[in-house]
Structure 1
């Protein structure tokens, strides 16, 4: 069964050739070429699944737990304004906020300028420290049922679009 590289969009005939990598905290599926290139350049690391412990038998009297539903979130559009206003309301400098969320001051400056959208983990830390809401549940109204449709975009496509916007090739 084929799989698709989430970096370049290339179809890989044998899914066993697809590799999982971690890029900025996100696990992605990569073709062998993208995998080798990103790992050797230090821009990604191989994904290593943690081995699950064998569950201990439970007493028969214990009712089964309901399975947790995993919700997916995205960062709100006006994140930069919300972070800046909350920080100023608290009377903190960007340096103080950076220390509180354990990030560099440069990251905070880029977030407040709208040049860097925080990842889910950082957004959660900012929400907790600043007492604001930065994450909202993802509502996908037009998700295709399966396969690669015309609207399918890979990370590689986004990089190309970004380079075109900046006038690069």
Structure 2
């Protein structure tokens, strides 16, 4: 079995499971878990191998594209109360709400009881149908400069630590 090691966590994975990402201009081999975490957090981008022989000559000089800032959202803490009150205000049953958001009635019951936190997609559909706010932007706290958490370190930080 051919294998490779994740350059983030060190885990050994099969060669066909290895993924390539770009972090701060460096190409790294990573395991699927690190790949998904870093891509979804916006800390890395997938590596796309360029094929020079197939690239047509550019006809125009492309304008630089501003990187899109991907805002992350989280569901508010009192989502269950908000959903239930909005549904009752509209005079709907849980079954009617379930049909409007294309989910099962059981899912709506679990959300309203607080046993199931809706995902971002479902929360957006509930917001639209009920006319309420369930999502709020994620606020990142400032990280102190002494890097208490190894999750917030970059490769450059590690290199600086070894020199000190």
| Structure 1 length-normalised TM | 0.55
CA distance in 2, matches of 1:56, 1:98: 50
Q: How many residues get paired?
A: 116
Q: Relative to 1, partners in 2 of residues 1:28 and 1:148: Cα closer, same or farther, differing over 3 Å? A: closer
Change (3 A) 1:92 1:143: farther
Give the Cα–Cα distance (whole angstroms) in 2 for the partners of residues 114 and 18 of structure 1. Answer: 34
Instruction: For residue 136 of structure 1, give the secondary structure of its aligned residue in structure 2.
Output: strand
Deviation at 1:2, TM superposition (A): 4.0
Question: What is the CA–CA distance in structure 2 between the aligned matches of 1:76 and 1:57, rounded to whole Å?
Answer: 50
1:60: Cα distance to partner?
Answer: 3.4
Q: Distance in 2 between matches of 1:111 and 1:136?
A: 17
Structure with higher Rg: it is 2
Q: Classify 1:98/1:64 alpha carbon distance in 2 versus 1 (closer, same or farther; 3 Å).
A: same
Equivalent of 2:31 in 18, 41, 44: 18
Q: Structure 1, unaligned stretches of length 5 or more?
A: 5-10, 22-26, 30-48, 150-169
**Structure 2: where are the runs of 5+ without partners?**
1-5, 19-29, 39-45, 49-53, 153-164
**2:114 paired residue number:** 114
**Corresponding residue for residue 37 of structure 1:** none
8 Å contact from structure 1 (residues 95, 105) kept in 2 = yes
Q: TM-score scaled by structure 2?
A: 0.56
Please report how far the alpha carbon of residue 71 of structure 1 lies from its aligned counterpart in structure 2 after TM superposition: 0.5
Taking the aligned partners of 1:94 and 1:73, their CA distance within structure 2 comes to 25
Computed over aligned residues only, the root mean square deviation of the Cα atoms, in angstroms, reads: 3.7
Deviation at 1:18, TM superposition (A): 2.2
Specify the alignment match of 1:76 in structure 2: 76
Say which structure, 1 or 2, has more relative contact order (CA 8 Å, 6+ apart). 1
What is the Cα deviation at residue 19 of structure 1? 2.7
Matched, 1:147 2:160: no
